[in-house]
Amino acid sequence: MNNSLLVVLIASGVAYGTPLLYGALGELLAERSGVLNLGVEGMMLVGAVMGFWTVQKVHAGTVLALIVAVLVAALAGAVMALIHAFLVITLRASQIVSGLALTIFAGAAGLSSYLGSDLNLAANPAAHTFHAFFPSKMQNWPIVGPILFGQSALVYVSWLCVIAVAYYLTRTRPGLSVRAVGESPGAADAMGIDVVKYRYLHTIAGGAFAGLAGATITLSITPQWVDGITGGAGWIAIALVIFAFWRPELCLIGAYFFGALQALAPELQARNISLGPTELWTSSTPYVATVIVLVLVSWRGAARRLGAPASLGIPYVREEA
Amino acid sequence: MVVPIFSVVFALLVAALVLVATGHNPISSYRQLFDAAFISTGSLDQTLISATPLAFTGLAAAAAFRMRVFNIGAEGQLYLGTIVAAAAGLYFGGRGHASPGVIALMVIAGAVGGAAWAAIPGILRAFFRTSEILTSLMLNYVAGYLLTYLIFNSESYWRQTKGFNATVFPTGKPLPPNAVWPAWLIHAQGGINVPLGAGVAVLAGVVLWVLYRRTRFGFEVQVLGDSEGAARYAGVRTRRKILSVMAVSGALAGIGGASQVGDFAHALDGDPNGLQKQGYGYSGIVVAALGRYNPFAVLLIAFLIGGLENAGNSLQGANFPSGLVGVIQGIILFSALGGELLVRHRPRVLRRASVAEATPLPGAVQ
């Protein structure tokens, strides 16, 4: 039963969806404060390469090495986000072009590739990797075993993060302030909220989440380093925020749906199931599905009604507000 | 002119810091880079090979970004250009010397392929208000898989099926002789082949300039880029304009694809580590931004960035980490953005006291 296609797809959907979830949660925090960051792919790749480098270099027990690696990855992502924050918040540059610049700077042919080749990471498998968190007895339970108990610690941490972000945004004072900054920075400023500080902090936190997302790929899903290992996951994470109507709990569902689509290609191949040009349509499915869902949610300006922060993408200038 | 020069200099300085931080000597790295790009024997010949596609993708990005249509799908549109142009070359080509008719058909086919691929995000943006940024980018991945599929995973029209090599490593079917584009040989530096595509790119730049500066279409599109509300009020058909801008942008990238096939590859290149590793579509954004979306500046800068890419390809190794070129390009784009704003806003650093003096009394405002 645990080997049936559906159970395997859901279980690997959760695993493959986790980097998407971390990336989307980070982008959601930045966008809720009014900053669009299209550099997620680049930040993820730098997090991925730095996390991988850390486990190769740190001589410690597996648990400690992995914790340090995840923190280094988050820090690396945060530093990348700081560049974007400075350009768009302080210098008020175009958020779209700056985000693209960040992806070119940090991405598959940029800094992440530079670090990967300079630190000589491509040849070796990861020295420490995340494994299933619960004992194998529990993983053998029917249906819930592989789906709920067969995952790595990063999956369970991501659930805590979803709860934390949802609670933060809806139930705390600073969370309310972030939403005010994203919806109407002028009004927030008049209330005494430091718009610039909030935007910086949330953009940087978004970068940290993206770095963590990258480390999830290189330390858990495919524990190795290859240039451009994220394969567009950062872009799908940005799209996910839109599908989820800027709500963290919906990011979780969307991420697992797209994770399952990514798992579809290898799973069908492993089972020797071929439906027409399988290599072509299964590998393009996540990207085509992203386009289709984007069209559905943007039809007739649904996005604006359903929760896009009103000042998203617009720089805040006190004198002009 | 100040901002682009400043951007490049600043980018080289920051990248030098990255080089020092990772234990390299920036002066020797840059000397090697400059040498491999423009000075050493055969370097200009190689630089033109990178510069030609960059001129097309740079023009494609300039055509769209100038109008605030963010087409970042030039990469995929270029792939579709190679696919359709290769089909035209294989179908119409024959024996003999390069035939202007066949080459013209390949250019048209490439333009149609790129424009059709760009029309997908164009239609979605115009009629469903879907962000063209994400959709055009997603289609890059789909186009890449399609390209690989046609050569590696299928018995398509484009694949070489005869001969011993075809069974060892899948490749594209070679173009017939009269579909191979001619080059103009300059006897310097051991022979520099100026590809026909470079000439087509210059021509395309001129056409783009005329289209945007000297026609009603260009004027309406510029108004639309500045203010969608004003354009609609003036009776501009905004949906058609958005779609046309995407199509023009995609067609330019697609002709770049035709030149890839006709000038350089002479077959469809489906290798995931071949054309797809070059990322010409993304570098085109850097070229366009640095040229401030002016077609003539784009052509010049495509040549410089082409030199950088060529040096990156030929120097890759222990002394020259592979991503350095991307790092430099990213910083160039960052500083072009930042520099633009510094020039536009002319910020001055004032002391607190003088700020108070300079601020008029509240009653005096308005």
Give B35-94 pLDDT, tens digit per residue: 999 999 989 999 999 999 999 999 999 999 988 899 999 999 999 999 999 999 999 988
B283-295 residue pLDDT tens: 999 999 999 899 9
Q: What is the mean pLDDT of residues B206-225?
A: 92
> B92 in a domain, yes or no?
yes
Question: What is the predicted pLDDT for the residue at B3?
Answer: 77
Q: How many whole angstroms separate alpha carbon A202 and alpha carbon B324?
A: 29
Residues forming beta bridges with residue B183, ordered by sequence position: B195
A206 Cβ contact partners less than 8 Å away, ≥ 6 residues apart: A26, A27, A28, A29, A30, A35, A37, A81
pLDDT at A100: 92
Residue B38 lies in a domain: no
Give residue B354's pLDDT: 46
Res. B357: pLDDT tops 60: no
pLDDT at position B362 = 44
Give the total number of structural domains in chain B: 1
Cβ under 8 Å to B: A residues 1-60? 38
Return the structure tokens found at B214.
């000297």
For residue A269, pLDDT over 80 is answered with: no
Q: Give the pLDDT band of residue B142 (cuts 50, 70, 90).
A: very high
B279 vs A98: CB contact, 8 Å cut-off? no
Residue B267 domain flag: yes
Among residues A96, A61, A99, A69, which one has the least CA distance to residue A83? Answer: A99
Q: Which is more confidently placed, A221 or B357?
A: A221
Element at B193 (helix H, strand E): strand B192-195
Domain borders along chain A are 5-320
Residues of B (338-357) whose Cβ lies below 8 Å from A: 338, 340-342
Pick the more confident residue, B186 or B113: B113
State the architecture of A5-320 in CATH terms. Orthogonal Bundle (1.10)
Instruction: Name the residue with higher pLDDT: B363 or A72.
Output: A72
Chain pair A-B, CB pairs under 8 angstroms: 154
- Secondary structure element (H or E) that encloses residue B195, with its range: strand B192-195
Band the pLDDT of B358: cuts 50, 70, 90: very low
Which of B65, B128, B341 minimises the CB distance to A298? B128
Check whether A274 has a pLDDT greater than 80.
no
Query: What range defines the domain where residue B224 resides?
Result: 47-293
**DSSP character string of B298-361:** HHHHHHHHHHHHHHHHHH-BTTB-TTHHHHHHHHHHHHHHHHHHHHHH------HHHHHHHSPP
What mean pLDDT comes out for the span B148-175? 85
The minimal CB distance from A283 to the residues B65, B145, B334 is found for B145
At residue B189, φ and ψ (nearest 5 deg) are: 55, 35
**Neighboring chain B residues of A239 at a CB cutoff of 8 Å:** 134, 138
Q: How many helices (H) and strands (E) does chain A have?
A: 15, 0
Confidence of residue B226 (pLDDT cuts 50, 70, 90): confident
Rounded to the nearest integer, the mean pLDDT of chain A is: 89
Mean pLDDT throughout A259-280? 79
Question: What whole-number percentage of chain A has pLDDT above 70?
Answer: 97
Return the pLDDT at B363.
Answer: 42
In a domain, residue B355? The reply is: no
What number is the average pLDDT over the span A113-140? 84
B72 Cβ under 8 Å from any chain A Cβ: yes
pLDDT for B178: 93
CA distance A144 to chain B (A): 33
Residue of A83, A86, A100, A242 to mutate when probing chain B, most B C-beta within 10 A: A100
The shortest C-alpha distance from A109 to chain B (Å) reads 5
Instruction: Supply φ then ψ for residue B31, to 5 degrees.
Output: -65, -45
pLDDT at residue A318, rounded to an integer: 78
- The helix/strand/coil state of A183 is helix
pLDDT > 50? residue A287:
yes
Q: Do A118 and B330 touch (CB under 8 A)?
A: no
At A321, the pLDDT band (50, 70, 90 cuts) reads low
**Quick one: tokens of A51?**
């996390």
**pTM of this structure:** 0.91
Highest mean pLDDT among A67-81, A238-252, A276-290, B281-295: A67-81
Is the CB of residue B311 less than 8 Å away from at least one CB of chain A? no
CB contact under 8 A, B329 and A104: yes
pLDDT band at B155 (very low <50, low <70, confident <90, very high): confident
To the nearest 10°, the Cα dihedral for A273, A276, A277, A278?
A: -30
pLDDT at A146: 80
Output A142 or A291, whichever has higher pLDDT: A291
DSSP result, A214-259: HHHIIIIIS-S--TTTTTTHHHHHHHHHHHTTT-HHHHHHHHHHHH
Instruction: Using alpha carbons, select from A265, A263, A254 the residue that is nearest to residue A290.
Output: A254
Largest Cα span, chain B: 88
Asked if pLDDT for residue B106 goes beyond 50, the answer is yes
* Residue B343 within any structural domain of the chain: no
